[in-house]
Amino acid sequence: MSEVLIETRNLKKYFPHKLGQVHAVDDVSLRICAGQTLGVVGESGCGKSTLGRAIIRLHQPTSGEVLYKGENILNLKGRDWRRVQTQMQMIFQDPYSSLNPRMSVKQLITEPLRVNHVAANKAELEERVRSTMELCGLPDRYDNVYPHEMDGGRRQRVGLARALALNPEFIVCDEPVSALDVSIQAQILNLLMDLQESRNLSYMFITHDLCVVRHISHQIMVMYMGQVVEYAPTDEIFENHAHPYTAALLSAIPTTDLSRRNRERVVLKGEVSNPINPKPGCRFAPRCPYASEKCNEPQNLTEIAPNHFVACHECAKQAGG
Amino acid sequence: MDMKKEKTTSSPQKKKSQAQLILIRFTKNKLAVIGLIVLVALMLTSLTAPLWLDYSKVTHQSVRESFQTPNAEHWFGTDQFGRDLFARVIYGGRISLFAGLVTIGIAFLLGIILGGAAGFFGGAVDTVIMRFTDILMSVPGILLSISIVAALGQGLFKMLIALSVSLIPRQARTVRSAVITMRGQEFVEAARTYGCSNFGILFRYIIPNVLGPLIVGVMMGLGGVILQIASLGYLGIGIAPPTPEWGTIISENQANIMYHMYLGIIPGLFIMIAVLSLNFVGDGLRDALDPKMKN
């Protein structure tokens, strides 16, 4: 495998709340290699967006480490931080609110370059904006077009161009296609994958759409209430998933295969419990059909197959024999 | 096919600069253009008054000529002292218009800075600024102006400061709430991902997006300012007589308006026209600055 680009170690992000602390991201360790995509899935509010934002320090993590090429970046300041920051960009979910309505397409894409003074002169600046726009399928007639004059897909291309302008190595994609209709989703996903190939980009792809994540990811991380429940290569997750929560998620994928339409659905009961000061132990236990006494103890991520980690004592026991 | 291609490419391919687009949008609004012309005309006449209208006419008194209705010699008639109302109104515009514009200008700028800082940074900065404006707001505007003038002394410049200070709290509050709604937008977060500074975010991302309603609000405030200048004059702490100023002209003729209506109507009309034009200009400016408006 290629070089590890981004690594987190026991990353935590707690938000203060009047009743205690919201454990949005709790003890997440992950690795993303250069040119690879990590898909992060989980239901709404499970902390996937917070995780993405914590890695690029949009939210300063409470504790833990984020390593960029082996260097902890959480305490970097000034010029050192700038250097790393420009290598880690983000694409947002809502292509409507993530673009400043007062700026034209060209201005929007120029912004990151202007702020970081990366171009030596006007001609170079122009040239970089032009090549980035071309890369994202935006011809120069869009220069003076404003976000409200474009459709969602084009806007998302602008969002992507803005993220790419600084030539980053790592991009956090926070549900970049969930606000788009299916045909446009495919366009944007293909664009992302083409760019990954040509520029050796690494993505952290946050989504709740399992079909999308299978298409684009090399590895998948399943999160539940701020914690990792299962972490494995994509094919492994889809074929040999172990955790009951992953099973429930996967069984919710709609199928067009008529022979499988009567397949068994794992329907979860109850609701996500309160993320404020959660008890130790498995957070999924209250909804888990196989819950037992042992689930009240803290669960450790155990490697049950090569690169396949599960945070469930039961799964670990079964795999172990 | 060729025709179609032509059409799809021609509409977005506008190589006009932002300033040109703003100008085009502004001129689309006929009322705003008329307002601007009227306003400029008013300002020019009062500014150039010393060149074509003798200042002595403003203060020259003659009991024989008192209470003349508008006629060929005295276009707007004369007041109880026989002073020429036309000269007084024209010279009065010098003070009313410029004092008004300067006051709202100061209030606008300081309101944006204070409200912007309070809304953007929140926390202690917000608390300090907002409690400060609360204190200012707890004192009635006119009383505040009186106290400030009493503390600083009389004079046009000091009166401007007094009036601006009484306008700032409301302006700051409007800006603050507008900034707070903008602060949570994703494009602000996006600006942080590529390292835009707080200052840059506030002035390049947030303020431009809240400017529209602020401009209208502040233009609306001008009428109030002109009237406040008048009330201060009436209370004897604004512009000292016999210097004319639109509000003062009305207040000094107040006792005679019953029988000599033109004494109130004419200066009143000038105030109204000035305020109205400014409101139109404000409306036009708000739309012109908004790229969402059609070109």
- Domain ranges in chain A? 4-87+168-320, 103-166
Query: Does pLDDT of B7 surpass 50?
Result: no
Write down the pLDDT at residue B148: 87
Contacts of residue B292 in chain A, CB cutoff 8 Å? Answer: 101, 146, 148
CA angle in degrees (0–180, nearest 5) for B56-B59-B64: 105
Q: Enumerate the residues of chain A whose CB falls inside 8 A of the CB of residue B195.
A: 82, 85-86, 112, 115-116
Tokens standing for residue B203: 């002035």
Q: Is the pLDDT of residue B227 over 80?
A: no
Which among A58, A82, A166 has CB closest to B192?
A: A58
The letter for the amino acid at A276 is I
On whether residue B4 sits in a domain, the answer given is no
Residues in B touching A166 (Cβ below 8 Å): 194
> Is A89 an 8 Å CB contact of chain B?
yes
Give the pLDDT score at A41: 93
- Chain A residues touching B16 at Cβ < 8 A: 144
Number of domains in chain B: 1
What average pLDDT does the structure give for chain B?
83
C-alpha to C-alpha distance for A173 and A160, rounded to whole angstroms: 9
Residue B13 lies in a domain: no
Q: What is the C-alpha to C-alpha distance for residues B163 and B183, in angstroms, rounded to an integer?
A: 30
Distance between CA B3 and CA A11 in Å, rounded?
A: 58
B137, part of any domain: yes
Which residue is it, tokens 């008192």?
Answer: B66
- The answer to whether the CB atoms of B193 and A58 lie below 8 A apart is yes
Q: Is A203 helix (H, G, I), strand (E, B) or coil?
A: strand
The tens digit of pLDDT for each residue in B55-70 reads 877 777 777 777 777 8
For the cut 80, the answer to whether the pLDDT of residue B1 exceeds it is: no
In the three-class reduction of DSSP (H, G, I as helix; E, B as strand; rest coil), residue A138 is classed as: coil
Q: Kindly state the tokens that stand for A144.
A: 């003076």
pLDDT value at residue B5: 39
pLDDT value at position A236?
Answer: 92
Mark yes or no for CB contact B292/A116 under 8 Å.
no
> For A117, what's the count of Cα atoms within 13 Å in the CB-facing half-sphere?
3
Q: Is the pLDDT of residue B13 over 50?
A: no
Radius of gyration of chain B (CA): 24
- Amino acid symbol at A171: I
Is the alpha carbon torsion for A146, A152, A153, A157 positive or negative? positive
Is residue B96, in this structure, part of any structural domain at all?
A: yes
State the pLDDT at residue A200. 92
Query: Is residue A100 left, alpha or beta, with left meaning phi > 0 and alpha meaning psi from -120 to 50?
Result: beta
Closest to A229 measured CA to CA, from A283, A164, A167:
A283
Using the 8-state DSSP alphabet, how is residue A65 labeled? Answer: E
The partner residue sitting opposite B194, judged by closest CB among A94, A148, A166, is A166
Q: How many CB atoms lie within 10 A of CB A20?
A: 13
CATH (domain of B114): 1.10.3720.10
- Token reading at B223: 């009428």
Query: How far apart are alpha carbons B149 and B166 in whole angstroms?
Result: 12
- Percent of chain B at pLDDT > 90 equals 18
Question: Has residue B214 been placed in a domain?
Answer: yes
Return left, alpha or beta for A90; rule: phi > 0 is left, psi -120 to 50 is alpha, else beta. Answer: beta
**Cβ contacts from A onto B, under 8 A:** 77
Which residues from chain A sit within 8 angstroms of residue B9, using beta carbons? 141
Nearest-CA distance B208 → chain A (Å): 7
Q: Residue B128: its pLDDT value, please?
A: 95
At CB < 8 Å, which residues of chain B contact A?
A: 9, 12-16, 18, 185-187, 189-197, 200, 205, 208-209, 291-292
Question: How big is the CA angle at B290 (ends B285 and B295), to the nearest 5 degrees?
Answer: 90
Kindly indicate the confidence band of residue B294, based on its pLDDT and cuts at 50, 70 and 90.
low
Q: Is the dihedral of CA A50, A51, A55, A61 positive or negative?
A: positive
Q: Specify whether the CB–CB gap between A295 and A282 falls below 8 A.
A: yes
Asked if B208 lies within 8 A of A94 by C-beta distance, the reply is no
Cβ distance B145 to A57 under 8 Å? no
Q: Which residue has the higher pLDDT, B72 or A90?
A: A90
Task: Flag if A92 and B205 touch (Cβ within 8 Å).
Answer: no
Q: Is residue A104 less than 8 Å (CB to CB) from chain B? A: yes
Question: By the CB < 8 Å criterion, does A260 face chain B?
Answer: no
CA distance A79 to A77: 6
Does residue B92 contact residue B42 with C-beta atoms inside 8 Å?
no
B11: closest chain A residue by CA: A141
Shortest Cα distance, chain A CAs vs residue B183, angstroms? 12
- A98 and B13 within 8 Å at the Cβ level: the answer is no
Q: What is the pTM of this model?
A: 0.80
User: Looking at chain A, which runs of residues are DSSP E strands?
Assistant: 4-17, 20-33, 37-41, 63-68, 71-72, 88-91, 170-174, 202-207, 219-224, 227-233, 302-305, 308-310
State residue B51's pLDDT score: 85
Tell me: cis bond preceding B242? Omega within 30 of 0 counts. yes
The Cα A161–Cα A131 span in angstroms is 10
Which of A97, A102, A144 minimises the CB distance to B12? Answer: A144
DSSP string, A305-321: ETTEEE--HHHHHHHH-
Phi, psi of B182 (to 5 degrees): -80, -30
Q: B143: pLDDT confidence band, cut at 50, 70 and 90?
A: confident
Q: What DSSP string describes A251-302?
A: HTS----GGGTTPPP-PPPS-----BSPPSS-TTGGG-TT--GGGGSPP--E
B-proximal residues of A, 50-69, CB under 8 Å: 56, 58
Residue B276, domain member (yes or no)? yes
Asked, for residue B6, whether it belongs to a domain, the answer is: no
Identify the CA nearest to A155 among candidates A170, A183, A130, A177.
A177
Domain assignment present for residue B8? The answer is: no
What is the C-alpha end-to-end distance of chain A, expressed in Å? Answer: 29
> Domain limits at B98?
21-288
N-term to C-term CA, chain B: 27
Q: Compare A171 and B146 and report the one with higher pLDDT.
A: A171
Buried-exposed string B213-228: b where 16+ CB fall within 10 A, e elsewhere: ebbbbbbebbbbbbbb
Interchain CB contact of A145 with B (< 8 Å):
yes
Per-residue pLDDT of chain A (321 residues; tens, 9 = 90+): 578 999 999 999 999 988 888 989 988 999 999 999 999 998 888 889 999 999 999 999 999 999 999 999 998 988 899 999 999 999 998 888 899 988 999 999 999 999 998 888 899 999 999 999 999 989 988 888 889 889 888 999 999 999 999 999 999 999 998 888 888 899 999 999 999 999 999 999 999 888 889 989 999 999 999 999 999 999 999 988 889 999 888 888 877 777 766 767 777 877 777 888 888 888 888 888 888 888 888 888 888 888 899 998 888 888 775
Beta-carbon separation of A97 and B185 below 8 A: yes
Strands (E), B219-284: none
Residue B228: HSE in the Cβ half-sphere, 13 Å Cα cutoff: 26
Percent of chain B with pLDDT over 70: 93
Contacts of A114-121 spanning 24+ positions with Cβ under 8 A: A115/B191, A115/B194, A115/B195, A115/B196, A115/B197, A115/B200, A116/A82, A116/A86, A116/A166, A116/B194, A116/B195, A118/A86, A118/A166
Nearest CA in chain A to B200: A115
Q: Which CATH class is domain A4-87+168-320?
A: alpha beta
